[in-house]
Chain A
Amino acid sequence: MAMLKMQRIYIYALIKYCKDILETLQRRGVVEIENLELEDSVFFKEDTSSLQAQYNRSAATATEALEILSRYAPQKKGLLSSFKGREQISTAEYDKMVDGAQDTLRIAYDIISYQKNIDMNEAEKVKYEAQLEAIRPWLSLDVPMTFTGTATTTAFIGKFSDKRSSTDIVTQLAELIPEIEGIDVEIISSDENQTCVFILAMKQDAEEVSDALRRIGFEYPSYVSPVAPQTREKQINKHLSNREGRILEAENNIKSCEKYYAKLEFLEDYFVMKSERYKAFDDISTSRNTFVLSGYITERDAGELKTYLEEHFDAEVELEESDTPETPVVLKNNKFAEPTESVLASYSYPDRHEADPTSIMAIFYYVFFGMMFSDAGYGMVMALACGILLKKFKGMEAGLRRSMKMFFWCGVSTTIWGLLFGSFFGDAVSVISNTFFHTPPPDIPGLVVPIWFNPVTDPMQMLMFSFLLGIIHLFAGLAIMAYNDIKHKEYAAVLYDVVSWYLLVGGAVLALLSLDMMGNIAGFVLPPIFLTIGGVMAAIGALLILLFAGRESKNPVKRLLKGAYGLYGATGYLSDILSYSRLLALGLATGVIAQVFNQIGSMMGSGVIGVIIFTLIFVIGHGLNIGINALGAYVHTNRLQFVEFFGKFYTGGGREFKPFKINTKHYTVKEEI
């Protein structure tokens, strides 16, 4: 339950060390650089935008080359490769890779130009294929399509856009120009959509024939082969195989670059890193020979960085305590609570002046998740899966590692609740023993008989327990509010805003439990004396709220009205507490659905087929149930934290600490310290 102390850091050094210092900061990733608005006669901002653009372009080149390369030479990736995280390289390896960067960049350009070559040839291929398609109906024509006729004749080479026979055409022409004779019509090819024709007429009749032809629907072809169509076909085929050869060659060239894959990945990272480093220049102020950098750093890392910079770069480092509202927040929690920090972060970072509720939240988080998922078998599967992944992939990214740890603890909690409620893959043990061994199951505590009680047979007890946990959760939230008030020395607020609600809600619960009516539901009744005690407590609480909830208003009427409105908040508490009934409902849903699958699986009896069917349904059914109920448990645990718990005390609005660091895709550099 803490936040790290933050310090402002100022670094003054000679400009010749500027790049090295920035590289150090980037690799360590401990300083958030803040824009130093310092521009006067001495200090100015260096404009590095053109350099940034250049490096971004180089990075984009590498990205494009990688993308092309993986298209022609796919990289094998394991199913679990997304857990692997970025590869770590040592500084020596890093320096070696940097030396080869220019060569690799040339390879990237080569790959891209091969791809351009392929694209160009593909386009040509498409063009030739279209030509081939166009001359196909003309293949039986033995003269070039440009043939216009002999000394005494005129040729018309063209088509009609329907099916016609030569008789059709001759008759149609005879109707239009009966006086002209000696027209020779030859059908080259014909199908439903077009008829290709070669028509020969006497030269002196050319004009009339042309006119008549147009009137009956004759048109010239869109592609005209300059040589005889068959010759043209051969030419085109040669061109096509030529182009294909070139494409294949370029593809092979690209494939031969596969060995540079890792280097290209590094290249992409290298230029991204470089561009980000130059981007940091926007926030630094430089003079002719020196520069100033300001930012935030945690107290934990400050001393070490100061010594390092002062020793290696002759820099002057100034540190001062920072507690302004702009100061970013870094959370610090123990191993158990730390994984849930991301849940808090997805709501909001805490304000610098309030307590970090992560450690309290973590306890409830694991407990609620476990109650909703509530099956020992499922919990073990989840904890084992997360545990193995965590062990196997040491280089896992920090965010993913955190979630894995969180689900590991959720799995552990689920196992414990499952044992308490006697659910192990639902009622798998009894079903298997009854179906396949025809004996009632042995009374194994946890797996068959619940260690505590079975919520499916005793839902009311579970409901009461859910409400009890809910009240504890809400009261814990109020307690954190009290803690914050005490820290700010607002002792009266503790009485008016926290104790008053403790009295009202606690008193009301006591009074309700001593009523006969509630006894039927709860299964027990408190002695009548608690009705009086509870009533008095609630009355005092209500009075405190009525009188003091509106204490900020000077006007007494307004104050009383605000107090009354504050008292109306009691309905909020009622709905908040009822909201915890989802602990019961989701827990039942997991348990009963698991039983349903077991029952369906056991319907085929105890033969060999029965065993096979049971196994199949068991695996698929429980897999499905784990998926959908883990999602439900996760979402609703978050909801209980965000709405019911945080709603009671949490202000939030803190700013996340975003250090200047290596922001790459494939590699991280291991710092040797």
Chain B
Amino acid sequence: MSEFFNNSGLFFALLGAAIATLMAGIGSAIGVGKAGVAAAGVLAEEPSLFGKVLIFQLLPATQGIYGLLVGFLILSNVGLIGEPKDISVLQGMLYFASALPIAFAGLWSAIYQSKCAVAGISTVAKKPDQMGKAIILPAMVETYAILALLISILAIFGIAGMQ
């Protein structure tokens, strides 16, 4: 039993990589989906706005990428990609904890950003020249995903430097 526990560092690290990718990914999938529905509605009336509404649809896509980024960093730091390494239980748990910010902030910020993006799409449908302003509002929501990403990344680099 104790041997099992001692070897479970890698498991916790993988759990962290998984949760970062999957939760941020779920958020982005929901967000991009919602914005896509609204974008398709606008296209039915104004096919020429495709380029503009596509950008709005992509705004909530970034959280998923941040999740992927953190997941990948953890995998490569613990040696699941590249050379295998010895990971202690503590290190594994630390990696797990470091994944939490982007996992949760990613999930919710993508969903709320998509609400903002949907509103932005309707703004652009009525006033295509107001694109610049309409795109800034959803970007405000993303700030918090970026902050979470920052802490996740700094934590991973910090853990890797501990040894």
| Residues of A bordering B, CB below 8 Å | 342-343, 346-347, 459-460, 463, 578-579, 581-582, 584-586, 588-589, 592-593, 596, 599, 627-628, 631-632, 635-636, 638-639, 642-643
Contacts and interface: CB of A to CB of B under 8 A. Distances in A.
Given A585-B149, A636-B139, A346 B62 contact: no
Nearest to A603: B81
Contacts of B7: none
Interface of B: 55, 58-59, 61-62, 65-66, 68-69, 72-73, 76, 81, 131-133, 135-136, 139-140, 142-143, 146-147, 149-150, 153-154, 157
B72 to A, nearest CB: 5
Contacts of B139: 635-636, 638-639
Given A459-B154, A593-B69, A639-B136, A585 B58 contact: no
B136 A585 contact: no
**Complex A-B, nearest 6 residue pairs according to Cβ-Cβ distance, in ascending order:** A346-B132, A635-B139, A585-B150, A585-B146, A582-B146, A596-B72
Contacts of B150: 581-582, 584-585
A582 B139 CA distance: 12
A459 B69 contact: no
Given A592-B72, A628-B65, A635 B135 contact: yes
Contacts of A347: 132-133
Nearest to A584: B150
Nearest to A582: B146
Contacts of B55: 631
28 contacts: A346-B131, A347-B132, A460-B154, A463-B154, A581-B146, A581-B147, A582-B143, A582-B146, A584-B150, A585-B146, A585-B153, A589-B65, A592-B72, A592-B73, A593-B68, A593-B69, A596-B68, A596-B72, A599-B76, A628-B58, A628-B62, A628-B65, A635-B59, A635-B135, A638-B135, A639-B136, A639-B140, A643-B140
Contacts of A342: 132
Contacts of A643: 140
Given A628-B61, A635-B59, A343 B69 contact: no
A399 B163 CA distance: 54
A308 B14 CA distance: 77
B136 A635 contact: yes
A628 B150 CA distance: 18
B154 A596 contact: no
Given A463-B154, A631-B58, 11 more contacts: A342-B132, A346-B133, A579-B143, A581-B147, A581-B150, A584-B150, A585-B149, A589-B149, A599-B81, A628-B58, A631-B55
B136 A642 contact: yes
A490 to B, nearest CB: 31
